[in-house]
Amino acid sequence: MPTACATLTLYGRAWCHLCDDMRAALEPLLAEFGATVEIIDIDADPALEARYNELVPVLAIGGIELCRYRFEEAPVRAALTQLAASTRE
């Protein structure tokens, strides 16, 4: 049930193992829904670094935070399912 190529945003840091773990855990859902992920290094933007600093990784879609620190499948799946349903209408 692919979405219209939904894009999730992963805010993280290049040296963050939790960010790497979240990216890896996200892969199956990206494949299942035909979604993509944009990875943003917060250290490249002082405003994002100030906002997220020790909260990373943070996964969001459409500006709505889905999870932080660790991947949580339920809210991500729910958001992708809802987006898929809305694009079919």
pLDDT at 5 exceeding the cut of 90: no
Look up the pTM and report it: 0.89
Residue 83: name the closest of 21, 22, 35 by CA: 35
User: Does residue 26 lie in a domain region?
Assistant: yes
Model pLDDT, residue 28: 96
Query: How many CA atoms, within 13 angstroms, populate the side-chain half-sphere of residue 79?
Result: 21
The residue range of the domain holding 13 is: 7-72
- Within a domain: residue 67? yes
- Please give the residue that has the higher pLDDT: either 43 or 5: 43
Encode pLDDT of 7-20 as tens digits.
999 999 999 999 99
Q: Is residue 37 part of a domain?
A: yes
Would 84 be classed as within a structural domain?
Answer: no
Look at residue 88 and tell me if it is in a domain. no
Q: How many domains does the chain have?
A: 1
Q: Specify if 61 maps to a domain.
A: yes
Residue 82 lies in a domain: no
CATH number at residue 12: 3.40.30.10
Q: pLDDT, tens digit, for every residue of 24-82? A: 999 999 999 999 999 999 999 999 999 999 999 999 999 999 999 999 999 999 999 99
At 33, list the tokens: 């829904």
Can you tell me the distance from the alpha carbon of 71 to that of 69, in angstroms, rounded to the nearest whole number? Answer: 7
Classify residue 85: in a domain, yes or no. Answer: no
Contacts of 84 (CB under 8 A, 6+ apart): 1, 2, 3, 6, 33
